[in-house]
Amino acid sequence: MDKCDTVKASYVQNLSSNKMVVAEIAHKLSSKDNTFTIGSSYALDTFTTVKGRVNNYGTIAALVQHEWRPKSTFILSAEIDSKALDKQTKFGLALALKP
């Protein structure tokens, strides 16, 4: 979508079978803009996963994903800009059904 304008590098570290942390740096070639993001993932059980991330611009996001049937997933997410708390929080709801 950005016509190869962004270069990204990421690192994933598995802490245990149900925990991981991630770091990513992205550089936009046209604007010389850098974004650093850290996140984590925790599997509550074999069907439910909780994820969170924060970047250097103060954007905080969280996601809960639950698979209630094989290949059928329910996702609830939220994102907030911690540097502009007067703006509305973004919420998301997704339902993925696969045969």
pLDDT above 80 (res 1): no
Q: What's the mean per-residue pLDDT of the chain?
A: 94
pTM of the predicted protein model: 0.83
Q: Are 64 and 45 in contact (CB under 8 A)?
A: no
Residues 26-57 as b or e (16 or more Cβ within 10 Å = b)? eeeeeeeeeeebebebebeeeeebebebbeee
pLDDT above 80 (res 68): yes
User: With bands split at pLDDT 50, 70 and 90, how would you rate the model's confidence at 99?
Assistant: confident
What tens digit of pLDDT does each residue of 6-52 get?
A: 999 999 999 999 999 999 999 999 999 999 999 999 999 999 999 99
Residue 63: how many CB atoms within 10 A of its CB?
18
User: With bands split at pLDDT 50, 70 and 90, how would you rate the model's confidence at 84?
Assistant: confident
Q: Give the pLDDT of residue 15.
A: 96
State how far the Cα of 8 lies from the Cα of 52, in Å rounded to an integer: 19
User: With bands split at pLDDT 50, 70 and 90, how would you rate the model's confidence at 56?
Assistant: very high
Q: How far out from the chain centre does Cα 88 lie?
A: 19
